[in-house]
Amino acid sequence: MKAGTKHTEALSEPERIRRLVERCLGVPVRGVATLDAGLGARRFYRVRTGGQPATLVARVEAIERNDRRPAGAAPEPLLEPLRAFLEAGGLPVPRRYGGDAGSGIDLLEDLGSRDLAQAASEADAAGRYALYEEVVDLVPRLQALPRAALPAFERRLDATLFAFKAELFVAHSLPAALGRKATAAEAAVVGDAFAWIAERAAEAPARLAHRDLQSQNVLLRPGAAAGERAVLIDLQGAFLAPPEYDLVSLLRDSYVELPFEEVCALRERARVRLPDAPAAALFALRFDLLTLTRKGKDHARFLQAARAGDARYLRHLPATARALREAAARRAGVEPRLARLAELVAQLPETPCAP
């Protein structure tokens, strides 16, 4: 038994995937090619087979880097059974052909590489809006799902996560704004503001959120008709959050900068359909508050990645900074802690920052 285990461990990842595909699907494998991944530590491969399906994607789970979550926080759960729960609830997610929980490999439907970001860049204004309507309409459906005995319903956006986002912004984004390391007083401004936002978030209804519903995590099914195109991926991070959270991720996305009037119209389309249907003014306030923390985290992550040698995301810093500055300025009069934060955020540069 031990010898067999050692032999399995000695196999390359593509070879393990090949054997798993042949075992689960009973079809020969013609090739296993690495796919580009985002900022996370998971790995992805496109598998060509000699049968059906002709191609599929192998998703390989990995323990995320410690600097990507608060100290002591558990890794994100595995993809299953959350994917199956969403599928049963009528949400569009990739089909699963099999997998091996022990090695963290899932064999998933190959949806191609055309995501919402690419489609939005190719569409005219009306076509882009129609695409976003389709994705926005998934948010109320997700939030209406009944609670289940799944890790996603035990995880939530809490004060610890808000504090972690504040620490990231202080460590990576404030130096870009100030041209130097932040002082203790400046760090406290961010921490105090994010803590106040955490209190407002805790007062909101807690609903299931995808957690990273941005344009690169929505693939468009090839050949599908309008209204049936969007498929949600990168699902494993789902947790409970205020009803505005996924809408902030989607409509204040760093990869697709939507006109603000479009953001407001799409946001309102979702609001009236949400299970909790918050009052419009409160909904808009929480949307801006969560924009400050979500985009603050994103801005910091992009700089953190660049300093680690991955500069792919630097070109998205200006859009991220604009979303931060606009939300901060709009809400500076709500609370003195937000006014002090707005003064710092206003100094974020207009151009991509050097790592």
Domain count, the chain: 2
Q: Which domain holds residue 132?
A: 116-345
Q: How many helices (H) and strands (E) does the chain have?
A: 14, 9
Residues 341, 217 share a domain = yes
Q: How many residues does the chain have?
A: 355
Calculate the alpha carbon distances from 338 to 38, 195, 242 in Å.
31, 11, 19
Tokens of 67: 């600097």
Please tell me the predicted confidence (pLDDT) of residue 204.
97
**Within a domain: residue 186?**
yes
What span, in angstroms and rounded, lies between the C-alpha atoms of 84 and 134? 21
Any domain includes 352 = no
In this prediction, residue 1 carries a pLDDT of: 40
Q: Measured between alpha carbons, how far is 341 from 292 in angstroms, rounded to an integer?
A: 9
The answer as to whether 351 is a domain residue is no
Nearest alpha carbon to residue 241 among 193, 280, 293, 192: 293
Whether residue 177 is contained in a domain is answered as yes
Residues 341, 189: contact at Cβ < 8 Å? yes
Q: Are residues 230 and 184 in the same domain?
A: yes
Q: What is the pLDDT along the chain (355 residues), one digit of tens a residue?
A: 444 444 455 789 999 999 999 999 999 999 999 998 776 778 999 999 999 999 999 999 875 544 566 776 777 899 999 999 999 999 999 999 999 988 899 999 999 999 999 999 999 999 999 999 999 999 999 999 999 999 999 999 999 999 999 999 999 999 999 999 999 999 999 999 999 999 999 999 999 999 999 999 999 999 888 889 999 999 999 999 999 999 999 999 999 999 999 999 999 999 999 998 999 999 999 999 999 999 999 999 999 999 999 999 999 999 999 999 999 999 999 999 999 999 999 999 876 655 5
CA distance 328 to 288: 8
- 97 lies in the same domain as 121: no
Q: Check: CB of residue 274 under 8 Å from CB of residue 143.
A: yes
Which has the closest alpha carbon to 220: 346, 130, 326, 301? 130
Q: Are residues 219 and 157 in the same domain?
A: yes
* Whether residue 122 sits in one domain with residue 105: no
| pLDDT value for 350 | 74
- Which of 109, 142, 165 lies at the terminal end of a domain, its last residue? 109
Single residue among 47, 82, 109 that ends a domain in this structure? 109
187 with 254, same domain? yes
Strand partners, 31: 48
Same domain for 96 and 200, yes or no, is: no
Whether 103 and 120 map to the same domain: the answer is no
Q: How far is CA 335 from the centre of its chain?
A: 28
Note whether residue 354 is domain-resident: no
Give the closest residue to 327 by CA, choosing from 313, 339, 314, 310. 339
- Say yes or no: 279 and 337 in one domain: yes
DSSP 198-258: HHHHHTS--EEE-S---GGGEEE-TTPPTTS-EEE---TT-EEE-TTHHHHHHHT-SSS--
Answer yes or no: is 4 within a domain.
no
CATH number at residue 171: 3.90.1200.10
Peptide bond into 151 cis (omega under 30): no
DSSP string, 307-323: HTT--TTGGGHHHHHHH
Residues 193, 80 share a domain: no
In a domain, 350, yes or no: no
Same domain, 283 and 229: yes
Strands (DSSP E) contained in 27-124 are 29-35, 43-49, 55-60, 96-100, 105-109
Residue 159: predicted pLDDT: 97
| Same domain, yes or no: 99 and 122 | no
Q: Is residue 310 one of the residues assigned to a domain? A: yes
Give the pLDDT of residue 101. Answer: 87
CA distance 327 to 320: 11
Give the residue from 45, 75, 109 where a domain finishes.
109
